[in-house]
Amino acid sequence: MRRVALALLLLATACLGGGQQRVIVAAGTTLVDSGLVNAVADRFEESHPHIRLSIVGEASARILDLGRRGGADVLITHAPDLEAKFVHDGLAARYERVLTSSFVLVGPADSIPGAPVMTVLAEIAASNRPFVSRGDGSGTHQTELWLWEQAGVDPEGASWYLETGQGMGLTLQVADQRGAFALSELGAFLAASDALTIEPVDASGIPRNPYHLTVVLDSPERRAGEEFLDWLVGPEGVRAVAEANRELFGQPIYEPAGG
C-alpha cells in the first residue's frame, strides 16, 4: 500500500503547476504517527507558499533507500549508523540534527519493577514474556537490537519474540492486544496511548533519540529542501516545534536542535 501511495505522490508531483515546488519529505513513522512532522510542515507552508511539503512515512532504512533511488528530496531519520553510510557515500547535500526525543519501553500494567533497561530485557527473555518488535529496519528497531545486544540476549527466533515488519502505531496495537512489551518512540506512544492499556515501564538507561535531516544531493528540489532545513533549525522552526509539542502533548516531547 505504501508503494502505491508513493507512486501516486510522485505522479502528483510531476503534475504540479503554477510555479509551486513540491518537496517529498520522507520521515520516520514515529514522527508521522505522533503528528509532529505534519504540524511542523503546515507551519512552514504558511510562510513559504511557493513550497509544498509532501510527507511520506517510512522506516529509516527504507527512507535512506528512497534517497538513494531518487524517491525523496528530504529525509528525516533516526538511524545514525545507516545515516553515516549515506553521508560517507557522498549522497547528502546537507545533513544536520534537527530534533531529539526519547525512547520508552512499554508493557502490561504488571510489568517488571523498575530496573536498568538491560536487566528488564534480560528478565523478559528469561521469563518468556512476549515482546513485539517493529522488525523493519527503523531507527527504533536499530536501537532495540542494540539494547538486546547490551543485555546479552539474542531474541531472533524465540517463541516469545514477534516482529511485525510495520510502523510504530501498528506495532503498539499488536503489543497491546498481546499484553506484550515493546520499545517505542515516546511521542508516537503518547499519540496512541488513549487507545492502549500498555504503559511505560520504569527502565533506566535507554539512550536518547536524535533525528537528522538530510537534503539529498541529486534532488531536483535541493534548494527548497535546504530552505526547509534552514527554517527548521532557525527561530521560526524552533517556535513551530514548541507549538506542536504544546498542542499535541501538552509538554516538550521533541527538543529542537536550534532551541
Same structural domain, 185 and 226: no
Describe the chain by its helix, strand, coil percentages, rounded to 5: 45, 25, 30
Cα-Cα-Cα-Cα torsion 145, 148, 152, 157, nearest 10 degrees, comes to -80
**Of the segments 4-8, 13-17, 41-45, 199-203, which one has the largest average pLDDT value?**
41-45
Contact 60, 78 (CB under 8 A): yes
Same structural domain, 190 and 224: no
Mean of the pLDDT values across residues 234-252? 98
Same structural domain, 189 and 222: no
Q: Report the percent of the chain where pLDDT is more than 70.
A: 93
Q: What Å distances lie between residue 35 and 20, 147, 241, 245, CA to CA?
A: 24, 26, 11, 10
Bridge partners (DSSP) listed for residue 210? 100
Domain hosting 12: range is 2-101+209-256
Same structural domain, 95 and 219: yes
pLDDT for residue 97 = 98
Residues 6+ apart with CB under 8 A from 78: 28, 30, 60, 138, 139, 140, 185, 209, 210, 211, 212
What is the total residue count of the chain? 259
Q: What is the CATH number of the domain that holds 146?
A: 3.40.190.10
User: Residue 195 — φ and ψ, nearest 5°?
Assistant: -100, 10
For 48-66, the pLDDT digits (tens) are 999 999 999 999 999 999 9
Of 204, 226, 246, which marks where a domain is finished?
A: 204
Q: For the chain, give the mean pLDDT.
A: 93
Mean of the pLDDT values across residues 133-142? 96
For 77-105, the pLDDT digits (tens) are 999 999 999 999 999 999 999 999 999 99
Same structural domain, 117 and 197: yes
Same structural domain, 118 and 190: yes
Same structural domain, 45 and 168: no
Contact 211, 190 (CB under 8 A): no
pLDDT for residue 15 = 46
Position 109 confidence tier, pLDDT thresholds 50, 70, 90? confident
pLDDT for residue 16 = 55
Number of Cβ within a 10 Å radius of residue 156: 11
**CA atoms of 239 and 235, how far apart (whole Å):** 6
For 63-76, the pLDDT digits (tens) are 999 999 999 999 99
Of 204, 219, 240, which marks where a domain is finished?
A: 204
Same structural domain, 97 and 214: yes
Mean of the pLDDT values across residues 185-191? 97
Q: What Å distances lie between residue 8 and 33, 123, 250, CA to CA?
A: 21, 46, 35
* Helix runs in the chain, H state only: 2-15, 29-34, 36-47, 60-68, 80-88, 117-126, 139-150, 168-178, 186-192, 222-233, 235-248
Position 40 confidence tier, pLDDT thresholds 50, 70, 90? very high
Q: Report the percent of the chain where pLDDT is more than 90.
A: 89
Contact 231, 48 (CB under 8 A): yes
pLDDT for residue 259 = 65
Decide the pairing of beta strands 199-200 and 92-107. antiparallel
Number of Cβ within a 10 Å radius of residue 90: 8
If we measure between CA atoms, which residue out of 95, 91, 50, 89 comes closest to residue 70? 91
Same structural domain, 178 and 222: no
More confident residue, 112 or 182: 182
Same structural domain, 86 and 120: no
Domain count, the chain: 2
pLDDT for residue 3 = 41
Same structural domain, 172 and 129: yes
Q: What Å distances lie between residue 129 and 3, 22, 37, 108, 121, CA to CA?
A: 34, 46, 34, 10, 10
Number of Cβ within a 10 Å radius of residue 113: 9
For 12-29, the pLDDT digits (tens) are 554 455 678 999 999 999
